[in-house]
Structure 1
């Protein structure tokens, strides 16, 4: 993970009240969040979405994993929802 991603996860922790609170919000152990904060382990895309929701979009998925084409993903989800 790059410094921008690490910073985004750390900011998410501050917003929700700490590593344990973020862990509870996204369904992982606090040790996993600690590894995200140091860059030891990348944040899985599905957890990025949870972080965005937990922070009420103050931290965006694009900030956590900028290498993913989130615009395409968001557009695909919208298209599927409209087709149903």
Structure 2
């Protein structure tokens, strides 16, 4: 699933709740949905809070996630 798909499937209240769970603001999360780059921290939070429907590799492709996943 892509972040924008998830975002569009949520109500505004659910979007705001997702932002709080990810320890960011609604406005920042909306900016990421519509093209601003996603930090590695936010990518991890989004994968966790989406129950794995979103993947860090897709959200923040500049990080060597395969290496990090092996390290855990």
TM-score by length of 1: 0.69
Aligned equivalent of 1:54: 49
Q: Flag structure 1 segments of 5+ consecutive residues without an equivalent.
A: 1-6, 79-84
Structure possessing the higher radius of gyration over alpha carbons: 1
For residue 21 of structure 1, give the secondary structure of its aligned residue in structure 2: helix
**Structure (1/2) with the larger helix percentage:** 1
Runs of 4+ in structure 1 off by over 2 angstroms are: 11-19
CA spacing shift, 1:50–1:12, aligned 2, 3 Å: farther
Aligned equivalent of 1:81: none
**What is the rounded CA distance, in whole Å, between the counterparts of 2:69 and 2:55 in structure 1?**
12
How big is the shift at 1:14?
4.7
Q: How many matched pairs?
A: 70
Q: Flag structure 2 segments of 5+ consecutive residues without an equivalent.
A: none
Residue of 17, 21, 25 corresponding to 1:25: 21
Deviation string for 1:20-78 (max 9, x for gaps)? Answer: 12201101110001110111x211101101100101101111111123210101112x1
**What is the rounded CA distance, in whole Å, between the counterparts of 1:43 and 1:12 in structure 2?**
15
